[in-house]
Structure 1
Amino acid sequence: MKNLDVKSLIERYNNGTLSDEERAMLESWYISEVRSIKDYQGLEENLVKLDQNFMHIIGGEEKKGSKLWPRVAVAASFFAVLGLSLYFYSSKSPDKVEITNVELADINPAGNKAYLTLGNGKRIALTDASNGTIAEQTNVQITKTADGQLVYTIAENKSGFSSTLEYNTIETPNGGRYEIVLPDGTHVWMNAASSLKYPASFASLKERRVELLGEAYFQVAKDRLHPFIVKTTHQEVKVLGTHFNINSYADEPETKTTLLEGSVNVTNLNGRNSKILTPGQQSIVKGGDIKIGDADIDQAMSWKKGDFVFVGEDLKAVMRQVARWYDVEIEYQGTISSSGVVSTISRTKKLSQLLKALEKNQGIHFKVEGRRVLVMP
């Protein structure tokens, strides 16, 4: 901040030519200046001195006949900043300052973030791992590609298979998503706050069984001799080769399976009853029941296509999605009765843009404090 040309930045702010990066620099400078002031009295004295200097400069410029108003505008902007600082410090004690009207750093949407835990317990942060081979196990080579995928392939020049069956787990945190190609060629897209446990190799197994927590979209490689089974907390989905989406978050009241292609058999592990889905249908598992109905494919697949699509959802259900995608904490203040949220918003938007869209459509108010979002009536 020492070499920052504040005057130039304020001048360009006034004429509307300031870039987003320069605006962030100016705001960061402002925040640092406010926090560096020890007490209100010192700020007031500095403001008086600056005012005196400002009047002296105006007088000098007037005598020289130079352009006065651009300089006045720049100085006025500067004093507006200092005046705002003065207001904050006059209303708060020095040790409890609250800067409320400053637009702080925005929060980005989810990106390619995941962790891979190998069968031997080794944990790899895939975000930081270099592209190329990151591990070998059970005659399988694990590779991270340049476009952010994790791919399993049979290692070359290897004969036979290990007698030890190892299981790997890939986890996406809040604010993360990832793609993985399993050892059998099955392609899996993982939503935020999800995990998938699977064998490092399916070669010696009669069935291809994986375990999911959270949400994922599967394109299962066809293999009629080896069924593919996805187990979640409350259900099992058995397929031979098909495309489907499973939403099974622990904080959601239902487990939803949406079928796009082929057929799947859904078994409720609580009631031990099963149903067959055909393309375009969705099953909802809740308690001991399975309900089958027509799926809203656009809504079910919106997360994979890069959108939020809300069709009459409860606000708290919407905010659970927001919390996972942006890695934020949600807190409710007052009585929140908003229901039936209807909106389509790109998942590439920053958090502030999403919240503004929800405020406009729903008549609610949000306030962001760090990574906490306050929801207010």
Structure 2
Amino acid sequence: MIDQDKFVELLSRYQRGDCTEQEKAVLESWLTFGHFDGPVYDDQVLDEKITRISDRLPLRKETSTRKIKLSRVIYIAASFAAIFIAVWVYNTRKNRGEMLLPTTTEIVAQIEPGKDQAFILLSDGRRVAVEDAESGLLALESGVKVTKSPSGEITYEVGISEKANPNTYNTIETPRGGQFRVNLPDGTKVWLNAASSLKFSTALSTVKERRIALNGEAYFEVTKDPDRPFIVKSGNQEVEVLGTKFNVSAYSEETNMKTTLVEGAVKVTSGSIKKQLKPDQQAIVSKSITIKPVVTEVELAWKNGDFNLESDDFRTVMRKISRWYDVEIEYDHSAPVDLELGGKIARSKSLASILRIMEATGDVRFKIEGRRIIVTK
């Protein structure tokens, strides 16, 4: 196991900017999965966290400067025991000649995180790639203008003198590795996560029931209208609101559908079961409907640019990574099933960076083959 002198040297080299990628991943992994919660985004944040940890470490009141420094080293060593182990594992594997993830960086360097991209399927059958389209008017059909803002947002507008056709439907689709934001005809704002689709009437601002269909995950900020309920249909679940903020996760590969309420009130219906949600509650729909309290910031991490690892099991996290980076996940017989993770990781990181952080825990290994990730112990 690494001794105190080597550990202090590791910290010193990080502060000088001389750490290797593997050593930085060890530090970053501990900060992500260790005692301190919060996101790890870049070197500046990592540096601030190390400074915070050092500043919080207690010092014994010794008269000797040498004793004070030694005491500090001992406390640092005790607090960072997890890093000792991780670095020791790294050095041991390196000495044995085992393949470590950083040696495959060049293979996965081209696998970058997802980005803003979507397709619009118009009622006449045309499919518009929003990412490639210029800003301005994208389509005009049945009295509805579809425009793209300079920031890339899509907005549906019904002309004052126009009357939209309630039987005209559009679908917004995000591919794997994509996300997008759209303003619906009634003014409702929607954030679509990767591999999701939203189907709606272009007359959403005038129909009696604002009914839409969702596959995948989306966050909604619904325009209030007490006379016209807003209904999200996903599989065997319906979420009905009048005006509120909420998130629906309804991917077909997940065993449950989840609706998380941020503010207002929603009614979740599945079959003959109906439940009312209050803010900071989540409805989980499987064979029945279960209501539980949640931290909304955790559930909405994806919208805010993070993977939050606190509320999901390991394989759910890997499915999220699969959708966001558009990669295939495969598990061998030794792969962990109940690996517990914690903290947050920015979705803006490259795939190699994400996997390094997770692998540095010492509990999981990854082998990269093209766009396929093989998970092992």
TM value normalised by structure 1: 0.70
Bigger Rg over Cα: 1
Structure 1 pair 312–284 and aligned structure 2 pair: CA distance change class (3 A):
closer
1:237-277 Cα deviation digits (max 9, x unpaired):
000000000010000000100001100000013xx210110
Structure 1 pair 101–169 and aligned structure 2 pair: CA distance change class (3 A):
closer
Q: Does 1:139 align with 2:138?
A: no
CA contact 2:218–2:247 (8 Å) conserved in 1: yes
The answer for the alignment partner of 2:111 in structure 1 is 107
CA contact 1:264–1:278 (8 Å) conserved in 2: yes
Q: CA deviation at 1:367?
A: 1.8
Alpha-carbon separation, structure 2, partners of 1:265 and 1:164? 25
The answer for the alignment partner of 1:4 in structure 2 is none
Aligned residues: 275
- The residue type paired with residue 285 of structure 1 is V
Alpha-carbon separation, structure 2, partners of 1:230 and 1:192? 18
The answer for the alignment partner of 1:274 in structure 2 is 274
Unaligned runs of 5+ in 1: 1-15, 17-99
What secondary structure does 2:132 align onto?
A: coil
CA contact 1:264–1:276 (8 Å) conserved in 2: yes
The answer for the alignment partner of 1:366 in structure 2 is 366
1:173 to 172, 175, 200: 175
Q: CA RMSD in A?
A: 1.9
- The residue type paired with residue 106 of structure 1 is Q
Q: Does 1:357 align with 2:357?
A: yes
Alpha-carbon separation, structure 2, partners of 1:246 and 1:108? 26
Structure 1 pair 181–250 and aligned structure 2 pair: CA distance change class (3 A):
same
Q: CA deviation at 1:311?
A: 1.3
- 306-315 vs 190-199, which moves further: 306-315
- 314-323 vs 213-222, which moves further: 314-323
The answer for the alignment partner of 2:124 in structure 1 is 120
What secondary structure does 1:322 align onto?
A: helix
The answer for the alignment partner of 1:237 in structure 2 is 239
The answer for the alignment partner of 1:322 in structure 2 is 321
Alpha-carbon separation, structure 2, partners of 1:304 and 1:325? 12
Alpha-carbon separation, structure 1, partners of 2:230 and 2:104? 54
Alpha-carbon separation, structure 1, partners of 2:167 and 2:193? 27
Q: CA deviation at 1:334?
A: 2.6
CA contact 2:176–2:194 (8 Å) conserved in 1: yes
What secondary structure does 2:309 align onto?
A: strand
- The residue type paired with residue 110 of structure 2 is D
**Identity over the aligned pairs, expressed in percent?**
45
Mapping 1:78-117, distance limit 5 Å: 103-104=106-107, 105-117=109-121
The answer for the alignment partner of 2:252 in structure 1 is 250
Q: CA deviation at 1:315?
A: 1.8
- The residue type paired with residue 118 of structure 1 is L
1:171-205 Cα deviation digits (max 9, x unpaired):
00100000000000000000000000001122441
Alpha-carbon separation, structure 2, partners of 1:349 and 1:234? 35
CA contact 1:106–1:352 (8 Å) conserved in 2: no
Structure 1 pair 277–355 and aligned structure 2 pair: CA distance change class (3 A):
same
Alpha-carbon separation, structure 2, partners of 1:299 and 1:350? 21
Structure 1 pair 374–223 and aligned structure 2 pair: CA distance change class (3 A):
same
Alpha-carbon separation, structure 2, partners of 1:323 and 1:102? 18
2:219 to 217, 220, 229: 217
- The residue type paired with residue 209 of structure 2 is E
Unaligned runs of 5+ in 2: 1-16, 18-102
Structure 1 pair 189–101 and aligned structure 2 pair: CA distance change class (3 A):
closer
What secondary structure does 2:249 align onto?
A: strand
What secondary structure does 1:302 align onto?
A: coil
Structure 1 pair 230–213 and aligned structure 2 pair: CA distance change class (3 A):
same
Alpha-carbon separation, structure 1, partners of 2:337 and 2:248? 27
Alpha-carbon separation, structure 1, partners of 2:319 and 2:105? 26
Alpha-carbon separation, structure 2, partners of 1:163 and 1:350? 44
The answer for the alignment partner of 1:81 in structure 2 is none
What secondary structure does 2:366 align onto?
A: strand
CA contact 2:113–2:325 (8 Å) conserved in 1: yes
The answer for the alignment partner of 2:331 in structure 1 is 332
Alpha-carbon separation, structure 2, partners of 1:164 and 1:218? 21
Q: CA deviation at 1:298?
A: 2.0
Alpha-carbon separation, structure 1, partners of 2:359 and 2:225? 48
Q: CA deviation at 1:346?
A: 0.4
1:205 to 201, 204, 207: 207
- The residue type paired with residue 167 of structure 2 is L
CA contact 2:153–2:181 (8 Å) conserved in 1: yes
Structure 1 pair 311–200 and aligned structure 2 pair: CA distance change class (3 A):
same
Q: CA deviation at 1:160?
A: 4.4
Alpha-carbon separation, structure 2, partners of 1:215 and 1:327? 16
